[in-house]
Structure 1
Amino acid sequence: MTDIATRIDRAFAPLTQAVQAARIPGGVLGVVDRDGHRALRVIGSAQLVPEKRAMTETTWFDLASLTKVLFTTERVLALADAGTIDLDAPLTSVLPDFRQYNPDNWERKVTFRQCLGHQTPFPAVFPLYTYGRDPDLLRTFLLQHEWQAGAAVYSDINFILLGLALERLDGRGIRAMDPGKGFAWSADPKNAAATEDCTWRHRVLVGEVHDDNCAALAGAGHAGLFGTVDALLDFAVGKLRGAGPDALIRTPLSARRTHGWERPYEGWSGGEHCSPDTIGHTGFTGTGLWIDFARGHAWTLLTNRVHPTRHFDSGIVALRRSVGDQINAD
């Protein structure tokens, strides 16, 4: 059986090439097995502008959409396991005011499970942050906006709504909730990977959330979590050992998705060589985590590929697949 040191050495090669080609500033790669043995590799810069800083093994990353699986999915499934919510009940069982002025609309029929699996007609993207900067008003807007139904696609709206349900049940905003061991809702700029030179916040974002809608909402269920490579590997070890609501995160809801997570399909981010019993998820900032239960190992690739701008072909899609293929080649 190939050891994790060999796997990470192979997988570090395409990351090294991406940094040397100036496609991404830097990255951290980590691999861990079920017994907790791990290997880490680091390369490049955590920040390029307005100053340059080296990437380290302790660099904190804006995990972006990994928030969906590391925080929101975990909380929703724990509440379901406790009997607090019914996954097949509509969101209105917790958010009775959702689209309250039109009780017969489709939005009021959307369930928790459908949101977890992105099986709803919500749009893929929506620039909520352009509607104002008042978080409470934006939450009200989300709940009363007449959404145009379309084909079921991956949509942040699903997890923003799940986040609103968590806030309603907990009686406080998401940023006031415990983000989980090793995670936080912000990071020290001196030890955080920089993201974008934001056009509407007029600064390079370091240690504060990159996602526009999450920033405008002052915390949301789809983005905003920060963590280090060790925090992600610790989370993965817990899953490999069976901690938490594992049955559902491994239970398919569609050809591409489980509850919260993705599962292997042709062209997916984890590459072609992982087992069918693998789950994974990516984040827009250049992050990702994949857990292969059959092989008994997991890997995370953390980059700052949007620094200093998202409007550049970083090659992150091909890089993720190449890393996954090298990790799982036997």
Structure 2
Amino acid sequence: MGGADASDHLEERFERAFEPVAEAVEAGRIPGAVLGLVDAAGTRMLRAVGHAQTVPMKRAMAVDSWFDLASLTKVIFTTPRILAYAQAGRIDLDAPLISVLPDLRQYDAGAWERRVTFRECLGHQTPFPSVEPIYTYGRDPELLQAFILQREWRRLEKPVYSDINFILLGFAMERLEGRRLRMFDAGPGFAFSAPPENCAATEDCTWRHRILCGEVHDDNCSALEGAGHAGLFGLADAILGFAHDLMRGDAEGDVAVSLMRTPLSEKRTHGWERPYEGWSGGALCSAGTIGHTGFTGTGLWIDFEHGRAWTLLTNRIHPTRHFDSGIATLRQMVGDRISQA
């Protein structure tokens, strides 16, 4: 598709996809949201609805509100950089992490953690537990990092999606660059904190004892003062720009984008999710779509075959995560309305 017809068609998709977002806000299931859509030509649409914050004061949501992207950090920040290291020959994706982190479980040469590879971590094909309250062991980031590297981790029988995979990838990035992740250049429209007056608020944190706004929500990332699995903040327009760059890279045969599209399991590629029954991107996208979500209520999906990408950013955990926001159903509805013929 091309020209004015393409823009009109994109607008129709956007309008019908925005309807359930506005309804979710009106019903009080989420405080606010920004929906964005971009096509392969770079045409973009953005719209905001609701509130960026409701407690202890109300602030309106805007298209230029910053969001705590949570696990979108994995695919927007960490995955591209790990794949770039591989392309540059600085790492081998099939080499164990100890090729960069030789001190991982250094007191047990036969430990299974020492055999885990970069590719397995990218595809969540390791037996690490899905989640671990690392922050409860203290708030000294150097000591916590040593704890993570030396801990004898509980080994699951089957691989699951695990933050530990990307925490370790983040450690490897720090070793390769000789600086902490928060000192990395996150790119235009991305950062590791955000101005509170222009940021979507997240949770009333039970251990930091305040509404979080502009500081990372993820407990482990906060305690580590930066990690590879979470911590990135971003603007909706910057996310659409990132997605458009991937679509353009795919058209140009970029090796890293090809790996992001290459399946490693029924549900995963290098870093990303791929379509499966009940996944977040809906049932109507092409088989070549990749996507990812974030706990704070964020998400990004890229349909390479149909030449479009969309992001749904919400503050669904404000002021608490202990509430059924209906975010899973909303994501699927948005995806289906964008993909609908």
Q: Give the deviation of 1:223 after TM superposition.
A: 0.2
Residue of 287, 294, 298 corresponding to 1:283: 294
Residue type at the aligned position of 1:203 = R
- 2:199 and 2:24 mapped to 1: Cα distance? 20
Residue type at the aligned position of 1:303 = T
Q: Which residue is equivalent to 1:236? A: 243
Note the alpha carbon deviations across 1:217-237, whole angstroms, 9 max, x for none. Answer: 000000000011100000011
Q: Quote the sequence identity (%).
A: 68
Q: Which residue is equivalent to 1:329? A: 340
Q: Which residue is equivalent to 1:7? A: 13
Residue of 46, 51, 61 corresponding to 1:55: 61
Partner-residue secondary structure (3-state), 1:195: coil
Residue of 222, 244, 261 corresponding to 1:250: 261
Partner-residue secondary structure (3-state), 2:280: coil
Contact 1:8 1:41 in 2 (8 A): no
Q: Which residue is equivalent to 1:319? A: 330
The alignment yields a C-alpha RMSD, in angstroms, of: 0.8
Partner-residue secondary structure (3-state), 1:291: strand
Q: Which residue is equivalent to 1:128? A: 134
Q: Which residue is equivalent to 1:155? A: 162
- 1:156 and 1:246 mapped to 2: Cα distance? 22
Partner-residue secondary structure (3-state), 1:31: strand
Contact 1:129 1:216 in 2 (8 A): yes
Alignment partner of 1:86 is 2:92? yes
- 1:41 and 1:278 mapped to 2: Cα distance? 23
Q: Give the deviation of 1:14 after TM superposition.
A: 0.8
Residue type at the aligned position of 1:198 = C
Residue type at the aligned position of 2:321 = R
Contact 1:19 1:44 in 2 (8 A): yes
Q: Give the deviation of 1:18 after TM superposition.
A: 0.7
Q: Which residue is equivalent to 2:314? A: 303
Partner-residue secondary structure (3-state), 1:242: helix
Q: Give the deviation of 1:181 after TM superposition.
A: 2.4
Q: Give the deviation of 1:16 after TM superposition.
A: 1.0
Residue of 40, 44, 53 corresponding to 2:50: 44
- 1:176 and 1:210 mapped to 2: Cα distance? 19
- 2:164 and 2:22 mapped to 1: Cα distance? 35
Residue type at the aligned position of 1:227 = G
Residue of 21, 25, 30 corresponding to 2:31: 25
- 2:233 and 2:220 mapped to 1: Cα distance? 16
Residue type at the aligned position of 1:127 = P
Describe how 1:86-125 pairs up with structure 2 within 5 A. 86-125=92-131
Q: Give the deviation of 1:88 after TM superposition.
A: 0.1
- 1:305 and 1:23 mapped to 2: Cα distance? 8
- 2:258 and 2:295 mapped to 1: Cα distance? 27
Contact 1:66 1:287 in 2 (8 A): yes
| Gap runs ≥5 in structure 2 | none
Residue type at the aligned position of 2:290 = I
- 2:110 and 2:32 mapped to 1: Cα distance? 50
Q: Give the deviation of 1:180 after TM superposition.
A: 1.9
- 2:190 and 2:46 mapped to 1: Cα distance? 18
Partner-residue secondary structure (3-state), 2:301: strand
Contact 1:286 1:303 in 2 (8 A): yes
Q: Give the deviation of 1:4 after TM superposition.
A: 1.2
Q: Which residue is equivalent to 2:76? A: 70
- 1:160 and 1:48 mapped to 2: Cα distance? 32
- 2:184 and 2:112 mapped to 1: Cα distance? 30
Residue type at the aligned position of 2:198 = N
Structure 1 residue runs of 4+, over 6 Å off?
none
Partner-residue secondary structure (3-state), 1:32: strand
Q: Give the deviation of 1:148 after TM superposition.
A: 1.1
